[in-house]
Amino acid sequence: MKWAADTEATPSNSGSQELPASGGMGICVNSTYDSGNIEVISISDPNERDVCHTLELRIHEDPFCESDRRAHFQWFSYRVSNARHEKLIMKLMNAGQASFPFAWHGYSACASYDRHYWFRVPTQYDKESGVLTITHIPERDAVQYAYFASYSYQRHQSMVADLQSRDSVRLEMMGQTLDGHDLDILIIGEPAPEKRKVWVVARQHPGETMAEFVAEGLVRRLLDRADGVSRKALREAVFYVVPNMNPDGSWRGHLRTNAAGANLNREWAAPSAERSPEVLLVRNKMDRVGVDLCLDVHGDEALPHIFLAGNEGIPGWNERLAGLQQRLSDALLRASPDFQDKYGYGKGSPGKADMRIAAHAIGQRYDCLAVTLELPFKDTADAPEPVQGWSAERSLRFGAAALGAVLEVIPHLR
Ligand SMILES: [Zn+2]
């Protein structure tokens, strides 16, 4: 493979068998960190004919998930070091067997030098071979690649520690997960019987990191004392926010399951301490405080849109809930041009809802407005952003904007 145009930009590669500038250690790939996931099959050094490094990689599977009858995988995150100005051809060899292989079409991988700002890099999916190829020449020595901007458990801990220093925030540890992580809930606002209870649950599926950015964006706006929307929201409601419902899966670099291989968004009919303590802990807390509105935030691998998945199929669906759901959807349209109501999963058939799914189970159990809010991994097709695609930054801003929509529906919830 020849990369004539690139040779000029990579003088260290113009000859053969030169030692890299790093002093002998060549290209290295590592995922031994919180949320990392990759296995290295092989790394080829450049030779005279080939001025690029070809890295053959594979994504590690989540534990087998009984409810979905498969071992999920799609999330990846790894660091390549000693790579400055080296042409990297990174082949994710098992991409074709991932949980949502069709979602690789139109997808570009995320990269970051500082682990805060993530940008997209050229990515090609070959359906025949099932190989996803990421091509990049890093401008820095070390670069991180991931399925989406990383939201590590370490960042989660820093975020909740920062937020609990505010007067109106309580940080409650509801219990521990199977791996021994603390399951955190942020309670914002002074509880009072007449106030509505607004729940935001994010990241039941750990690979959907945008969900935690949305939760963080919403909470940070809520804590802005100069913001009239936030002040009013806190007068009328108390917010119960679970920013990361699946810290075990997040830590382990899973796409979809917890440490036991449970898909938490299929556990709400019968959560158990053995398989899904995360769901049991949150549901018990909901039973104690009540729910008037629940946003369950997710990421969709395939669709380039933000959309709601509603509760039309639950047995308790009625005119009141239909009106509330419509009101929320309309309010989101006004709150953010990134939200749309044209594309999505379609309406559920009456009585056919899968009651193992959080929004369905919560809507039914508490006779309340509950929705699944989906954000893209790729971008919004209506207003694409070519450098970053859909991003952590846009997720944070969308979470902040969504608070405006929540405020609009609060007076109608009961
Ligand atoms: Zn999800």
Say yes or no: 206 and 279 in one domain. Answer: yes
- For residue 300, report the distance from its CA to the centre of ligand 1, in Å: 7
Say yes or no: 9 and 41 in one domain. Answer: yes
Structure tokens at 242: 């679970």
Say yes or no: 87 and 114 in one domain. Answer: yes
Residues designated catalytic: 374
Q: Residues of the chain with pLDDT > 90: what percent?
A: 91
- For residue 162, report the distance from its CA to the centre of ligand 1, in Å: 26
Instruction: For residue 170, give the CATH number of its domain.
Output: 3.40.630.10
Domain boundary residue, one of 92, 120, 146:
146
Number of domains observed in the structure of the chain: 2
Q: Is the CA virtual torsion 121, 249, 73, 306 positive or negative? A: negative
Domain boundary residue, one of 146, 170, 205:
146
Question: How many beta carbons lie within 10 A of that of residue 193, not counting itself?
Answer: 5
Say yes or no: 186 and 64 in one domain. Answer: no
Do 86 and 20 contact (CB within 8 A), yes or no? Answer: yes
User: Quick one: average pLDDT of 256-271?
Assistant: 98
- Give the Å distances, CA to CA, from 44 to 26, 27, 91, 235, 308: 10, 9, 12, 61, 45
- For residue 11, report the distance from its CA to the centre of ligand 1, in Å: 44
Say yes or no: 29 and 142 in one domain. Answer: yes
pLDDT for 150-163, tens place per residue? 999 999 999 999 99
pLDDT for 324-368, tens place per residue? 999 999 999 999 999 999 999 999 899 999 999 999 999 999 999
- For residue 297, report the distance from its CA to the centre of ligand 1, in Å: 7
Say yes or no: 131 and 197 in one domain. Answer: no
Instruction: For residue 109, give the CATH number of its domain.
Output: 2.60.40.3120
Say yes or no: 224 and 343 in one domain. Answer: yes
Say yes or no: 10 and 157 in one domain. Answer: no
Say yes or no: 194 and 226 in one domain. Answer: yes
pLDDT at 25 (0 to 100): 80
Do 34 and 248 contact (CB within 8 A), yes or no? Answer: no
Residue 4 has pLDDT above 80, yes or no: no
- Cα separation, 255 vs 257, whole angstroms: 6
- For residue 294, report the distance from its CA to the centre of ligand 1, in Å: 15
- For residue 207, report the distance from its CA to the centre of ligand 1, in Å: 8
Residue 51: pLDDT band with limits 50, 70, 90: confident
pLDDT at 142 (0 to 100): 98
Say yes or no: 386 and 277 in one domain. Answer: yes
Domain boundary residue, one of 120, 146, 172:
146
Listed residue (149, 153, 132, 137) closest to 59, CA to CA: 132
Say yes or no: 117 and 183 in one domain. Answer: no
pLDDT at 50 (0 to 100): 67
Q: Give the range of the structural domain holding residue 358, as residue numbers without chain letter.
A: 153-412
333: phi then psi, degrees, rounded to nearest 5:
-60, -40
- How far does CA 225 lie from the centroid of its chain? 28
